[in-house]
Amino acid sequence: MYTAIAVDGPAGAGKSTAAKRIAKALSYFYIDSGALFRAVTLKAIQRGIDMSDTLGIIHMMKDTVIDFKDEKVYLDGKDVSVEIRSNNVSANSSYPAMISEVRDVVADIQREISKTRNVVADGRDIGTTIFPDAKIKFFMIASVEERAKRRLLELNASGKNYELRDMIEQINKRDRIDSTRVVSPLKKADDAIEIDTDGKTIDDVVSEMLDYIDKRLNK
Ligand code: C5P
């Protein structure tokens, strides 16, 4: 039986940075579940499918293959790791994530990976739906201002020039869609521990999480 560590929380709370570092420290496989939804979103955009066209997106899923290899995300055999980080994909990614057929495909990919190795998975529903029996669950939070500033730094580092207030608006909108959707909404699992990352460095956050993991795994 392999170990799964769940890292959930809203957009920009620091999940992926922390989860990646934890996976590296423990030599676990890192699953970026958001990247799977982003890949679906990218394909829908490329195909010109409207985000409100649920049937169109479900139909598209029938000939869609998403895979992780060497920390990269492949969509139908093509490395899309950079493209899925664009602001357009971010802004639209919560729409395909509302569709239960899309979530089922993304869930299967993650559960398949976890059958053969220890994993750290980050997302919105890992501790509640994907790995409800995970021994270790984190729920990371931070104020919307702090989260928007982090996203802005990432985007503007790649040469873009977005405004903080637009980023706050986009994050608030994604949070609202993610936490109010019918299937697997963003929600803290009852047995998750909450990590507030406001004002903390990533080093402090990761060492707090690794201390907790160490205690849980060696209990
Ligand atoms: O985490 P990230 O920002 O990459 O996620 C992109 C989108 O995918 C989120 O806005 C959310 O709607 C969706 N998502 C989800 N469940 C997950 C991970 C991501 O619904 N486990």
The set of protein residues with a Cβ atom below 6 angstroms from ligand 1 is: 11, 33-34, 37-38, 93-94, 97, 123-126, 174, 178
- Confidence at residue 162, expressed as pLDDT on a 0 to 100 scale: 87
The Cα 144–Cα 8 span in angstroms is 16
pLDDT in tens, 121-161: 999 999 999 999 999 999 999 999 999 999 898 888 878 78
- Confidence at residue 96, expressed as pLDDT on a 0 to 100 scale: 98
**pLDDT of 185 strictly over 80:** yes
**Closest C-alpha to ligand 1, atom 6:** 34
Q: In a 3-state reduction of DSSP, which class is residue 123?
A: strand
The Cα 211–Cα 162 span in angstroms is 37
Q: Using the mean position of ligand 1's atoms as its centre, give its distance from the Cα of residue 97 in Å.
A: 7
Give me the domains of the chain, ranges plus CATH numbers. 4-210 (3.40.50.300)
pLDDT in tens, 2-34: 999 999 999 999 999 999 999 999 999 999 999
Whether 5 contacts 127, CB under 8 Å: no
Closest ligand 1 atom, residue 15 Cα: 1
- Confidence at residue 41, expressed as pLDDT on a 0 to 100 scale: 98
Beta bridge mates, 123? 8
Closest ligand 1 atom, residue 98 Cα: 20
More confident residue, 72 or 219: 72
pLDDT in tens, 54-107: 999 999 999 999 999 988 999 999 999 999 999 999 999 999 999 999 999 999
The pTM of the full predicted model, rounded to 2 decimals, is 0.95
Beta bridge mates, 138? 7, 193
Closest ligand 1 atom, residue 125 Cα: 21
**pLDDT of 53 strictly over 80:** yes
Closest CA to 4 of 163, 120, 151, 178: 120
